[in-house]
Structures are given as structure tokens and as C-alpha cells.
Amino acid sequence: MYVYQKNVSPLNAMVFVLMTVLLAGCGSGGNSIIGGEKSGGKPHFKAKHEPWRSKAETACLQSGVGRGSPWIATRSALGGPSVCGAIRPFKVSALSSGSVRLSPPATLRCPMIPAVNRWMNDVVQPAARRHFGVVVTDVKVAASYGCRPRNNKPGGKLSEHGFANAIDISTFTFADGRKTSVDQWRRGPKHARAFLREVHKRSCKIFTTVLGPNADKYHYDHFHFDLARHGKRGTYHYCR
């Protein structure tokens, strides 16, 4: 078992040992990681060792994703020592050969780059043409990389954002200057609501997790997309 924790006091060390025993006792010993700084007596987040993450990332890097693109820059390692981050994180400032700006640029691991581009070309732009008659030129990134538990709840499972394997999108800007934000899901004009619903629904073919305003109170103003593995085979798509 790996344990990452900062500022370990004797009391923290005792909690550590106890957690180790408890985790081993419930059958997850050997591959559990407790990460981050403690807050309120709990570890900041929990995470397991999942070999598929580095395998998928290495295969993606070997395929040449991100090479030679002026809109994709490599970043230095993220944080650490921690389970968070990626082998080689990228800073992505535009999609679709530079025609759609990501603002601010998103920090993503390799497999997210082709996924987000496919999402823009195959999901967002057809929906934009259908409901607005023009394409999207700018997308507001509400969040990308962040070493934190899901929904910022201390002690929770490490968010896919911690692996740079997720992106939150809040606003779309169209070629004619109009804008639509996810918080218009319920109260926006009819064509904006139809656009947002179509994007949400069709995103599910590309990402394995899609969360929108119907998911919970945390997603009232943005879509969350990630490439987590759900289910025994890792192929289940969780879309709410």
C-alpha cells in the first residue's frame, strides 16, 4: 500500500496505521492510496492504484498525439509527490486545428486530447449549426486539472480532474458573437436549451462520464466530461 500525506504528526501517523488496517481489512489492501493533505481528521482524498491509467496514457503518447501542434504544449509534471497528475500533461489552448479557442487553456492527459477534439467536431459543431445556424468559436473551460476529491468533499474519492482526465465546460461562444451557458439549461431560450440537451446527450458516446444540470446540484452551471473506467470491463458510460 502507498500512503501520501504531508505534515505527519504522531497522531496522524496513528490514524494512518489505523486506516491501513481498516483498508486492508475491507479487502482493498495492497493497492489503495490515501493522498493529499489532511483536513478535518480525514485524508484529503482516496485513490486506488489503477494500472490502466498509465497504459492508456503511454499508448496515446506513443501514437504521437500532441506532437507538432501549435495549440498543444507539454507541461512540466503536476504537483507531487502524489497520485495526482499524468506522465506527460499537456496544455491545450485550441481544438479543431485551432479554429475553436479553449479559454483558459485546459491541462489534460494525452487520451483526453483526441476525445475533446472529436467531441467538438462530431457533437458540438453539428448541434451548433442545427440550433444556432453558426459554429462555435470559443469554449469556456470552468476547470481541468485539480488534485482534489470529487465535488471537493474532503475524504472522498480522487476526482478524475486529479488525473487531468476531465474537463468542465460552462459557456459556448458562437461565430456571430452569441453565447450560451450551461446555466441556461432550464431558463434559457428554446434553441439554447435544445443545443445544450443535444450536446449533453451525444457527448455520452465519446466520454465515459458526462454530468450536467440533471446530475446533481454541483453541475447546475457546467458539463463535466471524463474518461474514467466504469464497471467490471471499464466500458460502461455513466451519463446524467
Would you tell me which residues interact with Zn ion (CB under 5 A)? 168, 224
Residue 112 DSSP class: H
Strands 100-108 and 2-3: unpaired
Least distance (Å) between residue 142 CB and Zn ion: 8
| Block residue for cell numbers 497522531 | 11
Residue closer to Zn ion by CB (options 136, 211) is 211
CA distance 132 to 178: 9
* Other Cβ atoms closer than 10 A to 216: 11
The torsion angles phi and psi of 133, rounded to 5 degrees, stand at: 75, 5
Q: How far is the CB of 237 from Zn ion (least distance, A)?
A: 16
Whole-number minimum distance, CB 224 to Zn ion, in Å?
3
CB of 143 to Zn ion, least distance (A): 6
Closest contact distance (angstroms) between CB of 144 and Zn ion is 9
CA 52 to chain CA centroid, nearest Å = 16
Whichever of 32 and 159 has its CB closer to Zn ion, that residue is 159
Whose Cβ is closer to Zn ion: residue 57's or residue 168's?
Answer: 168
Nearest residue (CB) to Zn ion, 61 versus 84: 84
Q: Which residue is nearest to Zn ion (CB)?
A: 224
**Nearer to Zn ion (CB atom), residue 46 or residue 224:** 224
Q: Can you read off the three cell numbers belonging to residue 223? A: 458539463
Shortest distance, position 203 Cβ to Zn ion, whole Å:
13
Pairwise CA distance, residues 177 & 155, whole Å: 42
Closest CA to 135 of 105, 97, 167, 104: 97
Please, which residue, 91 or 224, has the CB nearer to Zn ion? 224
Helix (H, G, I), strand (E, B) or coil at 239: strand
